[in-house]
Amino acid sequence: MSAVTRAQAPNAPQKKELPPEAYRQAVDQADLAISITDPKANILFANAAFAHVTGYTPDEIVGQNESLLSNHTTPPELYQSMWRELSAQRAWTGKVLNARKGGELYLAELHISPVVDSKGNTTHFLGMHRDITEMHRLESLVLNQKHLIESVVDSAPMAFALLDQSGRIVLDNQEYKKLVSDLRVREPAHTLLDSLMPQWQETLAKRPEKCNFVSRESRIDRPAGRPRWLSVSASVIEMHSDGADSYFSTGNQSGLLLVISDITSLREEQEKARAAVLQAVLADEERTAAIREGLSAAIFRLEEPMNVMASAVSVLQRRDPASAGVLQQALAASREHMEMLRQVIPQSPQEIAVRINLNEILRDVLEICTPRLLSAGVMVDWQPAATLPPIIGRPLQLRMLFKALVDNAIEAMNIKGWKRRELSLTSAVERDCIVIAVMDTGPGIPHEWRHKAFEPFFTAKNGSGRHIGTGLSRAQQVVADHGGIIDLAESPSGGCAAIVEFRLDGDPI
Ligand code: FAD
């Protein structure tokens, strides 16, 4: 090194040597119990804090072995691992149970470092320990309280899930875990919030106070299972962040506590009563619709001969006015009777459009059609979307629509000797639409009939021995009234698939 680099700059502060005594004073006055031992743990030095913690004065303790502090309840394996580390000249940290001079026990967090000389021999050990009895007591208190809260929460008959502001589940209970396995959805809390508060993630992140609600009901549909009805309450709670960055700031964030109760049995009872009423209402409406259709068809068919009569009148008027007059009178009388008939055609009931869950409508239809499905030996594969956003619609008309489609499917498969009889019913959300598919494993509809099938009074019953039902024109009307579309296609089995699409923002007429 050159003299220039070694020389100190004229104004640089002078580097002072630390006097050896300063080391001793620093160690002696440190707030941590410090001891220095020989390689056999015999104490050579102990500072004032050591005396304060252990109760032994330096005079009493120097010359004693550190094992004097042992309460002899610390497991021997712990000392064995301690000495294994120290013998390998590695530092060791752990907790031991010590006894003070007066016999009082305290929990010590102990750190031991080997002091190694230039030849690589361990000459001393430096021991530092502090009394962590109070900290341990507080930790145990928190832990006990946590266990207590967990046991109370776990034994509660309702499911709990606590979400942090990012939507992560940070706490749940046994009932919630049961929901996870029963419902077979990725995260029931998210599924429920999606159905009850579609913008919940954004709201929870930006305006958590808007996320409180009480006892809102959600229906979860499961493939091949009965639907579950859950009542959900959500309350926003303040959560303290445990990150180091929040040590000096409040760092609080909002959490969302969901309390979920299963109200399926209650709802099933109500549903049973409702289904019975529905069945009666639907049967009544079907009868009325049949009368309406029968009368309309009769009038439609009578129009034809009457038109022929009208042409005959105009031809006869020149050649045989007398006969033309008689025929004219007969025609006028017939028209009058036709008009009377038209007036007695029963009108369809006026229904108010309400918020509707289509899964619920489909489930009702399956319930109502169960006796027919059973007697026709049809297996049902019900694959609903777990939750569906509501649409605005007329419940009775929609039930009639899907019942007509299911009836057609049953009829299509109910052919003597027809083996595969499966009805598949699916609901899904695709883009901005709810798509419902009613698929059968019957012989299917010939391509050329797919549009004709929607014409009023069209029936294939006599054409090919295959009856496709008479409700399709009415079904198309209901779908159109709800701003949707209906189409017939080939199902994967070669049978018929009726696909109905309703726009989520659709507005019924
Ligand atoms: P011991 O007979 O001392 O030994 C227990 C086990 O440790 C034996 O199975 C033996 O295999 C192993 N062992 C003991 N001495 C050695 C050694 N020199 N080399 C290798 N293995 C060995 N203990 C406390 O309980 N409280 C303390 O606060 C504490 N502070 C310590 C501070 C320092 C700096 C050091 C070096 C040790 C400290 N010890 C402390 C450990 C203490 O020396 C004893 O090992 C321990 O207390 C167990 O004592 P014992 O009489 O039950 O068993």
What is the model's pLDDT at position 110? 98
Q: Is 200 in the pocket of ligand 1 (CB under 6 A)?
A: no
What is the model's pLDDT at position 132? 97
What is the model's pLDDT at position 467? 42
CA distances for 470 relative to 286, 455, 494, angstroms: 12, 9, 21
If you take atom 32 of ligand 1, which residue's CA is the nearest one? 127
Ligand 1 atom with minimal separation from the 40 CA: 18
What is the model's pLDDT at position 239? 81
Which residues, including other chains, have CB under 8 Å from residue 53's CB and lie 6 or more apart?
A: 33, 100, 106, 108, 129, 130, 131
Q: Is 96 in the pocket of ligand 1 (CB under 6 A)?
A: yes
What is the model's pLDDT at position 244? 76
**Interval between CA 79 and ligand 1 midpoint (Å):** 6
CA distances for 436 relative to 72, 89, 458, 499, 507, angstroms: 74, 73, 24, 6, 18
Residue stretches of the chain with pLDDT short of 70: 1-13, 224, 250-251, 456-470, 506-509
**Interval between CA 80 and ligand 1 midpoint (Å):** 8
List, for residues 97-133, the tens digit of each pLDDT value.
999 999 999 999 999 999 999 999 999 999 999 999 9
What is the model's pLDDT at position 465? 38
What sign does the dihedral 218-223-224-225 (CA atoms) show? negative
The pairing of beta strand 379-383 with beta strand 422-430 = parallel
Distance of CA 365 to the CA centre of its chain: 26
Domain 136-343, CATH among 3.30.450.40, 2.40.50.140, 3.40.109.10, 3.30.450.20: 3.30.450.20
CATH topology of domain 354-503: Heat Shock Protein 90 (3.30.565)
What is the model's pLDDT at position 10? 59
Ligand 1 atom with minimal separation from the 97 CA: 25
Element (H, E) at 254: strand 252-262
Helices 472-481 and 395-413 cross at an angle (nearest 10°) of: 150
Q: Is 338 exposed, middle or buried (0-12, 13-18, 19+ CB in 10 A)?
A: middle
CA distances for 34 relative to 72, 95, 424, 494, angstroms: 21, 15, 78, 86
What is the model's pLDDT at position 464? 44
What is the model's pLDDT at position 24? 87
**Is domain 20-131 annotated with CATH 3.30.450.20?**
yes
What is the model's pLDDT at position 392? 92
8 phi and psi angles, rounded to 5 deg: -80, 145
How far apart are the C-alpha atoms of 443 and 450, rounded to whole Å? 13
The whole model's pTM is what? 0.56
- Same topology, domains 20-131 and 136-343? Answer is yes
What is the model's pLDDT at position 3? 41
∠ CA 406-411-416, nearest 5°, is: 145
Q: Is 127 in the pocket of ligand 1 (CB under 6 A)?
A: yes
Q: What is the dihedral of CA 468, 474, 475, 479, to 10 degrees?
A: 150
What is the model's pLDDT at position 11? 65
Whether 213 contacts 234, CB under 8 Å: yes
Q: Where are the domains of the chain?
A: 20-131, 136-343, 354-503
Whether 175 contacts 203, CB under 8 Å: no
Ligand 1: which of 67, 69, 84 to mutate, most ligand atoms within 8 Å of CB? 67
How far apart are the C-alpha atoms of 13 and 68, rounded to whole Å? 48
**Interval between CA 41 and ligand 1 midpoint (Å):** 7
